[in-house]
Structure 1
């Protein structure tokens, strides 16, 4: 897997055009962009599911959806999931119409839906919680996002790699043009963040074993833009 993006760097002895910097120095200088990334194993997750039902009346649709949501919330509580790790949306009900080629639209029923987002502290529990959703009548998975608990530590590691990358390229470029680095004039920091593993719009019957989640990876990236002074 290609873990680093292509590097762009410019060398100038007068004025340089570099989008990351609002102004350019009026002395010999060199600008580089450093990239760093760390590959981490996910140890937690967050997933969003939805229950959707269409019936002849709004009340029937509401009752059906609320029943599935209540059953799922109880199942999560029985598993020891804290209420702070669960977020549920309001109930949405919309009328459904049939549009004939001629004549007025005809009301044919109502569609109700509710969403639930669950934070999973232990990745090994993810598949079991998805099973609970299926058994409770939830019929749609909107999003599964794998995460790491210690995001800040991995981000710091990626940042240090970006700094090393910027310095290494600057030294190589300066040497190649017969110059020497004489300090740093400006640093612009733009945190790139992580690239989580996402699984969207999965059907509930498309079962995935939990081991496949644990075998996945998360790429956490960072970058830094630097202008160095040259002798």
Structure 2
């Protein structure tokens, strides 16, 4: 009888022991699992608007049809020398003038379904950096008067974009951190270590005057007049996340 009672007691006690053991293990697991660290984020935005400090203009000469390739090249050289001379007379240094296109090709007419040779044509374009954007109109006017018949684009640019981005980034970081600090203070807490950083920057607007050019293709002469410069704008945003403590 005593042996039977012990057996019944063991059968009852064992499941209870197992259950309590499971609760103990589960409790230890929950305590050992790290809880998510509370965090807070701030966003800072800085808009930069500056007047461009350099301009870039591409212009050149198209000879039209000449009787031979040699005549086309001689005509091109003569006209380009006149154009470059007029540009340099405006105190544009030679280092700021770069050839950006050159071609020599045969010309043809189609007569009664046949391709008939009609001499040669030559063209050359140069890209000119104008360090005083206010003079870009004078450069175009002088070049076209000297024989340039193709002006294929004007752009107004910032010479030191890196410095502008650095300035905007510093201001945006300060704004983002201040926002995060203010929010943490409202919650009765303070900022811990920085856990993430991100930024994005908007692109400059298109500053060229036409994809196909300003003034059109060959044979087009640029009319005199002011060339508006406007402003360059971009926005830089910074995203900061901190632990709360």
1:54 shift after superposition: 2.4
**Alignment CA distance shift 1:222-1:230 (3 Å):** same
1:108 Cα offset (Å): 3.7
User: Hey, which of these two has a bigger chunk of strand by percent?
Assistant: 1
Work out which of the two has the higher radius of gyration on C-alpha atoms and give 1 or 2.
2
Query: What whole-Å deviation, never above 9, does each CA across 1:44-82 have from its counterpart, x for those lacking one?
Result: 322111222321433333223222211121122333221
Give 1:181 shift. 4.3
Q: Which runs of 5+ in 1 are unaligned?
A: 1-25
For the 8 Å contact 1:32–1:169, the answer to whether it is kept is yes
5+ long unaligned stretches in structure 2: 1-35, 216-220
Contact 2:154 2:214 in 1 (8 A): no
Count of paired positions: 202
Q: Give per-residue Cα distances to partners, 1:82-129, cap 9 Å, x unaligned.
A: 1111112463112344457x7443334433221111111222322211
Alpha-carbon distance change, 156 to 103 in structure 1, aligned in 2, over 3 angstroms: same
- Superposed CA RMSD in Å reads 3.4
Structure 1 residue 62 corresponds to structure 2 residue 64: no
Structure 1 residues 162 and 208 mapped into 2: Cα distance closer, same or farther (>3 Å)?
farther
Pick the structure with more helix per residue: 2
Q: 1:167-189 deviations in whole A, cap 9, x for unaligned?
A: 36656777899986433113245
Matches of 2:162 and 2:143 in 1, distance apart? 31
- 2:84: which partner in 1? 73
Separation in 2, partners of 1:94, 1:152: 42
- Deviation (angstroms), 1:137: 1.1
The alpha-carbon distance between structure 1 residues 184 and 114, as it changes in their structure 2 partners (threshold 3 A), is same
Cα deviations by residue, 1:144-199 (Å, 9 ceiling, x for unpaired): 12234554443333223332453366567778999864331132456667546322
Preserved CA contact (<8 Å) 2:201 2:234:
no
